[in-house]
Chains A and B, each alone.
Chain A
């Protein structure tokens, strides 16, 4: 399995993603600089890592969303390729229009950095074989993780099974405590928690996400 991890100026979880995908999930990982116009061939997964791309100028993820590589990422996603955005990567995917809604400053205006309990909100390929109602514990670290979406679109997310996780406790004021979603095609996923920070001896719950991605890829082949 081959994954590409994109580095934007200000990304700071790219090395952790690379390490975790290689050591814990068995991926072959290729690093991609945001100024590239093309993706390396035969990627099975693209990861947009966390961090503070472009210093969060204008809006979080806004500048990265118009980076040269993003045209290729959109094309890859339109063809059904798997794209995962973690934290800042989630913000970038929303800004790029690959995922619905937007992420704004936490309701408390404080930076939240701790392990949180998440409830699996739908039986979704990104969390298989875990079923709806199971709990996971993953670390979060964000100042702008309040997910906002208009009620009709939110209802659509719910009905189509696009809500992946909900915070057990609403740590940032997100609509319906949403912590992660997918697009309608279920091939693009965004989540505020960091699976790459919980895929070793300390915690294994992040590994469950990597395993689910592995299962999606095996089903496809």
Chain B
């Protein structure tokens, strides 16, 4: 089983990288781009059999190490392979 963790800065944390990418896109003519937020993706290859167990464990991993709740929020996606 594969779990994909998407991590982003919370809305309240300024993301200068995202703002810079947004202004470059606008300069290239993509005038409808309002905002860009940069984040990171972590793929975990797991040995779990049950999706619920995997979800629980991944949430614990996020709390303990993968995510800093002071500045980041996250979302977990379970993939078959």
Interface residues of A (CB under 8 A from B): 58-59, 62-63, 66, 94-95, 100-102, 104-105, 107-109, 148-150, 173
Q: Say what secondary structure dominates the interface of chain A.
A: loop
Q: Which of chain A's residues has its CB closest to B40's CB?
A: A58
Task: Flag whether B66 is at the interface (Cβ < 8 A).
Answer: yes
- A109, B65: Cβ atoms closer than 8 Å: no
State in angstroms the CA–CA spacing of A148 and B70 once bound together: 9
State in angstroms the CA–CA spacing of A105 and B17 once bound together: 9
- B65, A58: Cβ atoms closer than 8 Å: yes
Interface string of B5-40 (1 = CB under 8 A from A): 000010011101100100000000000000000000
| Chain B positions within 8 Å of A107 at CB level | 14, 16
| Chain A positions within 8 Å of B9 at CB level | 104
| Chain B positions within 8 Å of A105 at CB level | 16-17
| Chain B positions within 8 Å of A173 at CB level | 14, 16
- B65, A150: Cβ atoms closer than 8 Å: no
Q: Which of chain B's residues has its CB closest to A106's CB?
A: B16
State in angstroms the CA–CA spacing of A102 and B72 once bound together: 10
Q: Pick from A94, A100, A104, A108 the residue with the most CB of B within 10 Å.
A: A104
Task: Flag whether B71 is at the interface (Cβ < 8 A).
Answer: yes
Q: Which of B16, B66, B70 contacts A102 (CB 8 A)?
A: B70
Q: Which of chain A's residues has its CB closest to B70's CB?
A: A102
Task: Flag whether B56 is at the interface (Cβ < 8 A).
Answer: no
- A104, B71: Cβ atoms closer than 8 Å: yes
